[in-house]
A and B are shown apart, each in its own frame.
Chain A
Amino acid sequence: MPAINGLVRVKATSTANTGGTATQTTNGEYVFTGVTSARLDGIFTSIYDDYLMVFEARANGASPSDVNFRFTTGGTDRSTASTYRLQQITASGSSLTNTSSSLDYGRAFTLPVTNYSGFNFYVYWPARVYRSGIRSVSALSDASGTVVDRMTYHMENLSSDGIRFYSTVAFDMSVNIYAFNQ
């Protein structure tokens, strides 16, 4: 059998942003600059179960930016209370802490200012009518080279086709999206 590509580039059917600008490269990278909200529509479909999203992001200003996310369907947030269950590990210098929470959103990034940090999102079963999950792994550009490892699962048995990132502080974010072939 011929080799089948393991990763397939995924493109959004549309994007939306609040503040700033949004552009798309020919290859399909999305670049948001100075936004407080960035939404990617139509990226999760029944064709694929699992996805990889690779980000570079930073705060656009003098203050660190906490960026949250929600799954979306048809551009509308999934925002039922206590449906995003989070486990977070933070390793910074010689300190290791772990916390959990139950919210109406997921925590995506805590962005330092000035330099870009890197993040991977492994997204499992977002388009299935079942609980979906995200494992996010970060490499922060702060002074300690902090690692933040998060697992979030969305408890609603609903299908989502997109995701929205948002913050009270403007941020810059580029993202490439891939599906695991199946």
Chain B
Amino acid sequence: MSGLHLISPTSVNIPFSGSVSVSANGGISCTSTRRIDIRNVFSANYDNYMIVMSGYSPRDYSMTWGLIGANDILDVNAVYAYSGTQFEGTGNYDDDDWGATSFHEIGVSDVIQIIGYIYSPLLAEPTMARFFMNGYSGWVAGAGIMDGAAQYKENTIHNGIYFQGTEANPFTGTIRIYGLVK
């Protein structure tokens, strides 16, 4: 038995500009997509999930990501919290927010590469996330690292995830969501 399964979402919605396609296996490809809602990707078959995301957007930190709750509604309640570190050149930052409306902004631009984990989104408990991001740092004109942990602090069931940019900063790239077999 494989320990990691690629999941095919029940539906993918892009309410604004851009386009999206889903491969026969479930891999998602976006082109100039302002927002993508990946619905019903969490199921009772798995407790925990791994996300692999690669691509680019015109500007740094122009995207956010968060959870989708009942009736496919984006959960943007200000009950997310995160703590993270960011390394660019010889500088580093600590970053935290305890009343955010999403997991975290995503450092995009020339490259965005993320390994993320979502823990127990279907439980009526806080949902936890851990992410390891690579990006281009405009400050040092080089590579940047941004890692962190986040949580949705209330006891709410979520069945999907969204990524949101802006009209001027859409996302082009790939998103794959894997379930860790239990």
Instruction: Kindly specify which of A1-9, A35-43, A53-61 makes contact with the partner chain.
Output: A1-9
Residue of A89, A102, A182 most packed against chain B (CB within 10 A):
A182
Asked if residues A89 and B25 are in contact (CB atoms below 8 Å), the reply is no
Say yes or no for A98: interface residue by CB 8 A criterion. Answer: yes
How far apart are B13's CB and chain A's nearest CB, in angstroms?
19
Minimal Cβ-Cβ distance residue in A for B28: A182
Given contacts A100-B88, A182-B25, contact A6 B4 (CB under 8 A): yes
Query: Which of under 10, 10 to 19, 20 to 34, or 35 or more describes the interface residues of B?
Result: 35 or more
A86–B143 contact, CB under 8 A?
Answer: yes
A135 and B6 form a contact (CB under 8 A): no
Contacts of B176 in A (CB 8 A): 50, 180-182
Closest to A98 in B: B87
Q: Is the interface of A mostly helix, strand, loop or mixed?
A: strand
Q: Contact between B134 and A153 (Cβ–Cβ < 8 Å)?
A: yes
Docked-complex contact A6 and B87, CB < 8 angstroms: no
Q: How far is the CA of A81 from the CA of B134 in the complex (A)?
A: 21
Find out whether the CB atom of B143 lies under 8 angstroms from the CB atom of A49. no
Residues on A with beta carbons closer than 8 Å to the beta carbon of B179: 3, 6
Contact status of A89 and B23, CB under 8 A, knowing A153-B136, A180-B176, A182-B6: no
Report the contact-size class of chain A (Cβ under 8 Å from the partner). 20 to 34
A149 within 8 A of B: yes
Q: Which residue of A lies closest to B8 (CB)?
A: A1
Q: Residues of A contacting B27 with CB < 8 Å?
A: 181-182
Residue pair B25, A181 in contact (C-beta under 8 Å): yes
**In the bound complex, do residue B90 and residue A100 qualify as a contact, i.e. CB atoms below 8 Å apart?**
yes
Give the distance to chain B from A174, nearest Cβ to Cβ, in Å.
20
Chain A 76-119, CB within 8 Å of chain B: the 1/0 string?
00000000011101000000001111100000000000000000
Which residues of chain A are within 8 angstroms of B8 by Cβ–Cβ distance? 1, 4
Q: Given A85-B143, A98-B90, A100-B143: A6 and B6 within 8 A (CB)?
A: yes
Flag B162-181 by CB within 8 Å of A: 1 or 0 each. 00000000000010101101
- Using an 8 Å CB-CB cutoff, how does the interface string of B141-161 with A read, 1 for contact, 0 for none? 011110000000000000000
Q: Interface with A: B34-42, B71-79, B110-118, B119-127, which one? A: B110-118
> In the complex the two chains form, what is the Cα distance from A1 to B40 in whole Å?
14
Kindly provide the distance from the CB of A81 to the nearest chain B CB, expressed in whole angstroms. Answer: 14
Chain B 1-28 per-residue mask, 1 if CB under 8 angstroms from chain A, else 0: 0111110100000000000000101110
- Which B residues touch A4, using CB under 8 A? 5-6, 8, 25-26
Which one of A1, A7, A100, A124 contacts B134 once the chains associate, using CB atoms below 8 Å? A124
How many angstroms between the C-alpha atoms of A99 and B143 in the bound complex?
10
When distances are taken between beta carbons in the complex, the residues of chain B under 8 Å from A1 are 8, 26
- Chain B residue at smallest Cβ distance from A182: B27
Contact between B134 and A133 (Cβ–Cβ < 8 Å)?
yes
A85: contacting residue among B4, B87, B90, B142, CB under 8 A: B142
A-B contacts, 6 of them at CB < 8 A, read A3-B179, A100-B142, A124-B54, A133-B134, A135-B113, A153-B111
Which of B's residues lie within 8 Å of A, judged by CB? 2-6, 8, 23, 25-27, 45, 50, 52, 54, 56, 87-92, 110-111, 113, 115, 132, 134, 136-137, 140, 142-145, 174, 176, 178-179, 181
Q: Which residues of A contact B (CB under 8 A)?
A: 1, 3-7, 49-50, 85-87, 89, 98-102, 122, 124-125, 130-131, 133, 135, 149, 151-153, 155, 180-182
